Chains A and B, each alone.
Chain A
Amino acid sequence: MSPDRVSRRAVVGAMAAGAAAIALGPDHLQAAVAAPQTKPIPSTGEQVPVVGLGSWSTFNVGKDTQLLDECTAVISAFLAAGGRMIDSSPMYGSSQATIGYALGKLGHPPVFSADKVWTSSGAEGPAQVQESRTRWGIRQFDLLQVHNLLAWEEQLPMLLAMKKEGKLRYVGITTSEGRRHEEIEQVMRAYPIDFVQVTYNIQARQVEQRILPLAADRGIAVICNRPFEKGALLREVEAHPLPPMAADIGARTWAQFILKFIVSNPAVTCAIPATSKVAHVQENLQGGSGVMPNAAFRARMAGAVAAL
């Protein structure tokens, strides 16, 4: 079974980028990285790149100027390589402030800002959103999600009201590692949310059964967190050679192999791997470009990983 074919235009574009990279030399390779593919947000049709940037753990660097500058380099490389969605949460320590520091240093480039509300008190929700905006240094968020469904009965109406007032573009809910999926489904059925964020990767495939089909049916965009299980999945598979089938989809690393598996699922909008390394963010974004596997090929990919 062969993977889906990319368009002729994309191939020509990639060849042109490669030629430019050779002509310009190593210093300009970053600019020549093939941009990730995009997918539409079902509720509006707005296109977003299929690989975003998470911030759990990696961007929680406190006030360490050296690490703040390293994170700035990661965000700079992410944006230069065609990335747009950056995801964070008040739960992630200083990650929001790190993103704000980086965006300030980079001159406030356009990003798709995704953050969360994470408080058990409904009354504290608006103040937390305000605090998060201040940390990011932005006027308003593109997307706010109820983190891990915490007090969602109170937070979700607040976010939907913000959207109605034009203070927010998209509303979502999140969970991770298969928790509270029944409740997630209830919210997906009962509320006009734009996004749902869940854990999905080549080993953690629980959402394929009900969440992803429901999201497709309801027109809800899907963000996939923990694509590499906080690095544990990569450490596990990288003990083995990349299977030959990886070449058929242009995956040169395990990270790209796994990302292509995730974002090629028609119900998935994007994945948000977190990293603190420029080389990794570029590698990840390339995982969202080029040839993508179809359903049968994805099944073979999952089988190959399961057999390791």
Chain B
Amino acid sequence: MSEWWTYRVADFLMYSARTWHRLIEQYNAAFWPLQLFAVLLGLIIMALAVRAPAGQGRAVGGILAVLWGWVAIAFLWRRYATISTAGAWFAGAFGIQAILLAWAGPLRNTFSFGVRGAAGWLGVVLLAAAVLAYPFVSVLAGRGIAQAEVFGMMPDPTVLGTIGVLLIARGGWRRRLLAIPVLWCMVSAAMIWALRQEGG
């Protein structure tokens, strides 16, 4: 793209806020009540990470890998890519993160857990917010629970919860595993800002 610096964030938003919210609503309807199972997995991750029983690194990494893989295929690839040319790229990034989590967790068992210091407690708050509070953002915004973004089903709460887990975790892999989630936060913030610009 020539003169890319002359484009604004909003110029890259290919769809309207209404289309985006309808996409979430239809996705939720198609897979209901899988959202309840995803929240249950989130609660299991919270329990394993905070209480830190032995062997939790494999289990937590494995669950997160499955959830990232699900979001990559079921939402980003199959749904989001129908309204955004970036959808396939995002799905690829989430797929890579799923592989990295599987490698670091079940295959290599590289991290352990223990809530220590401010970062650890911030991780607990982020994880709890992603699993328990994030679905109600759509309700507070007046769009109803049908358009809720659920941990393990949608990118943003999954990323937020994963960052929380990685802040609680210890081990050499956790910093490398933060790269894609942090990048996604920047992408998502830009998209949310652009949607709000047009009243969404």
Contacts and interface: CB of A to CB of B under 8 A. Distances in A.
Interface string B1-37: 0110010001001111011001100100000000000
A276 B15 CA distance: 11
A284 B26 CA distance: 31
Contacts of A94: 82-83
Contact of A276 (B3, B6, B16): B16
B17 to A, nearest CB: 10
A242 interface: no
A64 B23 contact: yes
Contacts of A179: 2-3, 6
A179 B83 CA distance: 25
Given A93-B84, A177-B6, A67 B18 contact: yes
B170 interface: no
Interface in B147-200: 197-199
Contacts of B6: 177, 179
Contact of B19 (A56, A62, A177, A232): A62
B22 A57 contact: no
B198 A93 contact: no
Chain B interface size band reads: 20 to 34
B75 to A, nearest CB: 12
Contacts of A92: 14
A305 interface: no
Interface string A85-117: 000000111100000000000000000000000
A230 B17 CA distance: 13
B14 A276 contact: no
A62 B79 contact: yes
User: Which of B6, B13, B19, B197 is packed against the most chain A CB atoms within 10 Å?
Assistant: B19
A63 B199 contact: no
Contacts of A177: 6
Contacts of B198: 230-232
B19 A61 contact: yes
A93 B83 contact: yes
A56 B15 CA distance: 8
Nearest to A60: B15
Interface string B79-104: 10011110000000000000000000
A60 B10 contact: no
Nearest to B19: A61
A232 B23 contact: no
A93 B199 contact: no
A214 B96 CA distance: 51
B19 A60 contact: yes
A62 B6 CA distance: 28
- 10 cross-chain pairs, A with B, having the tightest CB-CB distances, nearest first: A62-B82, A62-B83, A60-B15, A93-B14, A61-B19, A93-B83, A179-B3, A64-B22, A60-B83, A60-B14
Given A57-B16, A60-B15, A93-B83, 5 more contacts: A60-B16, A61-B22, A67-B22, A93-B84, A232-B198
Interface of B: 2-3, 6, 10, 13-16, 18-19, 22-23, 26, 79, 82-85, 197-199
5 contacts: A57-B16, A61-B22, A61-B83, A67-B18, A232-B10
